Amino acid sequence: MNLIELIRLAFNRLRTSRLRSALTMLGVIIGVASVVALVSVGQGATSGITSQIEALGTNLLTVNPGSSTTGLTNNGFGTAETLTLDDSNALASLPGIAAVAPEITTSELVLNGTKNTTTSIIGTTTDYAAVRNETIYQGSFLNDASQENSLRIAVIGATTADNLGLTAADVGSEITIRGIPFEIVGLLQPKGGIGNQDDAIYVPLSVVQRELVGTSDSVRAIFVSASDTVSVDQAKAEITALLEQRHGTNGTNDDFSIADQSQLLSTFASISGVLSLLLAGIASISLVVGGIGIMNIMLVSVRERTREIGIRKAIGARGRDILAQFLIEALTLSVLGGVFGIVLGILVSALIGAIAGWGLQISPLTLVAAVGFSLLVGIVFGVWPARQAARLDPIAALRYE
């Protein structure tokens, strides 16, 4: 008997007991659908959070000054005033570096008419937008001319704009920072991500130095974007070498540190991997339960059809013909259930994706694995009943009422 005949026989059988077949399949349908849906939710959540981390800039390196000491007290990481604008300019000439943006920060009271907020004032340069993945919502970012001419202009973060009641129409109007008027030249898109990066106002570095913090040459941090042609580690090495040369240090007494995002990304990737596996594991329990349902119904079916098995054996079916018939029947149930389960799983994933806002995330691998797994369930839980059927003694089977 060839496979097509067996599948035809199985479908005929399923047609004659539709309700039972549907209910049996339901177990597998739910199992496969939940595997597909949960894996998709896992992937959706992962890509959502990964893209937030990437919004920080994956090739972003942050150079911070080391710690300062006052007397015997260590004032902690980032308090030294060892990084300067000259360092920043020197870094820009390194081959592995795409862009450099130093920043000076201060916190000031900002007024817009009657509304006010206290927020970070970040003094920086033109490249900051590129290095930190900032996108303009309205107007423009700081440019080189405003830097050179120390123009009193400001670019407003999305949260700060909300706090001050600023809209797109307010580009060109003025706000007051510590009593000094600044012209608003741009509003930023909300960036989300970790920490509130949207609550800040960006002004030219020279203006912050001159008007707000005094004329010290030191910067709080230098953001460096590694060029695409080199690895982040290589860029890090170049920066370290240059700064050690400029500062006269040698690795044991460096007065700066360099941080990157790769560790955060890899930590998150391993957490989400474990989480996805956990979800899939829970879902596959229901698939196993579905498989037991198939085994149960196949055992009942073998019992009910004992006489049919006897007849088939009497007219020439070998044990393996009967085995194949019942195994294919179980497989038809499980694979059909698997296919319906995938459809249901995709629908559920699409629904969840639409609600959570990460869209539909289905990898073909998941679908192949789901079909493969339901096939496996069919074989594992179909073999035993099929063997029971194949081993029946034809005489006893023919006498069975």
Binding site for another protein (CB under 8 A): 1-2, 5, 12, 16, 307-308, 310-321, 394-395, 398
| Shortest CB 329 distance to another protein, Å | 14
Question: Would you give the distance in Å from CA 52 to the centre of its chain?
Answer: 8
> At its nearest, how many Å lie between another protein and the CB of residue 316?
2
Query: Phi first, then psi: what are they for 125, rounded to 5°?
Result: -115, 180
Reading the block at residue 153, the tokens are 């202009």
Q: What's the min distance (Å) between Cβ of 16 and another protein?
A: 5
Q: Please provide the distance, in angstroms rounded to a whole number, between the alpha carbons at the two ends of the chain.
A: 27
Nearer to another protein, 23 or 395 (CB): 395
Q: Which of 302, 353, 363, 360 is nearest to 330 (CA)?
A: 302
CB 184 within 8 A of CB 154: yes
Contact by Cβ (8 Å): 138, 212: no
Residue 268 CB, nearest distance to another protein (Å)?
Answer: 57
Pick between residue 178 and residue 303 the one whose CB is nearest to another protein. Answer: 303
CB atoms within 10 A of CB 74: 12
Q: Which is nearer to another protein, 314 or 354 (CB)?
A: 314
Contact 123, 182 (CB under 8 A): no
Q: Which is nearer to another protein, 144 or 393 (CB)?
A: 393
Total residues found in the chain within this entry: 401
Task: Tell the smallest beta-carbon distance from residue 401 to another protein (Å).
Answer: 10
Q: Would you say 178 or 391 has its CB closer to another protein?
A: 391
d(CA 92, CA 367): 48
Closest approach of Cβ 320 to another protein, in Å?
8
**CA gap 327, 33 in Å, rounded:** 23
DSSP labels, 338-349: HHHHHHHHHHHH
Nearer to another protein, 16 or 93 (CB): 16
Rounded to whole angstroms, what are the CA distances from 269 to 58, 366, 395? 14, 18, 62
Task: Name the CA radius of gyration of the chain, rounded.
Answer: 34
Of the pair 351, 395, the CB lying nearest another protein is at 395
Least distance from another protein to the Cβ atom of residue 395, Å: 5
Place of tokens 């955060």: 264
**What's the min distance (Å) between Cβ of 11 and another protein?**
13
Closer to another protein by Cβ: residue 83 or 390: 390
From residue 344, how far is each of 166, 247, 367 by CA, in Å?
Answer: 46, 63, 12
Dump strand ranges (E) for 113-152.
Answer: 115-124, 136-139
